[in-house]
Structure 1
Amino acid sequence: MRTYDVSPLFRSSIGFDRLLELLNQADRVETSAAWPPYNIERVAEDQYRITMAVAGFTADEIDLTQQDTTLLVSGQKAAPEGGTHFLYRGIAARSFRQTFNLAEHVKVVGASLENGLLTVALRREVPEALKPRRIAIGGTTSVSSQDNEPAQIAREAQAA
């Protein structure tokens, strides 16, 4: 795999720190980041869904935390009650910690755990102040044309 050094871009760019940091992090992806397996889906234009396979975990053992543009999903399996001795253990019960970098204005709107699948619903909610707005072009000068000629004749008649 090729690695690219983006450090020279830090010297000549202003305001792109987050983007460049994400590029640097992409090179440092750990092999443990693949567990538990997950899907990221685009449900609608501004709605997304993360589905994680967390078999054996209960809702009390999973913690979701969103801080700014980072979503942290972590799981800590409770100690088994009793003296259970496994002959074979195929269902992983190890702790996990998965971090997702979210775009600006993406918020977690819900989460559910069903049949061993943790589903996290996300929605992009851009504030009204940041949405593009249409600006009407207007002025105080009157333009004379065929469409407004009758109105102009009526104003002149009233003035006289």
Structure 2
Amino acid sequence: MSVLGVVVVPNGKHPKVYATVLAGTLSAPTLEDAFQLTPTAVEPSEQAVELADLLSAKLTSSMSAAAIRVAGNSPIATRYKAQFSRAHCEGALLFVLRRHTQQEVRTIVPAGLAKSLGLTNDAFEALVVQLASGKANADAVRAGLTMLPK
């Protein structure tokens, strides 16, 4: 069985979704796949729907669990368009992943993540560097690692 880690990155008018499919265990993780989704729609609500459809097409029956790296700050307090767009997209993706896995989708923020998994920050970041192909999908890897069994 594999797990999916997802992050939405605001990027001008078109947010990007980075996803990683991981397998194995937390002590011996393997990267099965990594992909990026970019909507063509302009309006945040349409972007969210389009990204949900794109992600849905990528899901396989072997994906048993998922986690989304969410923004640490509230989009309501700032009302920046990028944060609203990110929140729309995170919600739509969460819905698709919940329906697919039939279980709770974990939402994570990086602060304190290594400690919650029983790892040192250095050990956790070494795993991230080993699996991530770049900074953009590192948060997707972090999210996916939280779903792997120890």
TM-score using structure 2 length: 0.25
Greater relative CO, 1 or 2 (CA 8 Å, sep 6+): 2
| Rg larger for | 1
* Greater percentage in strand: 1
* Greater percentage in helix: 2
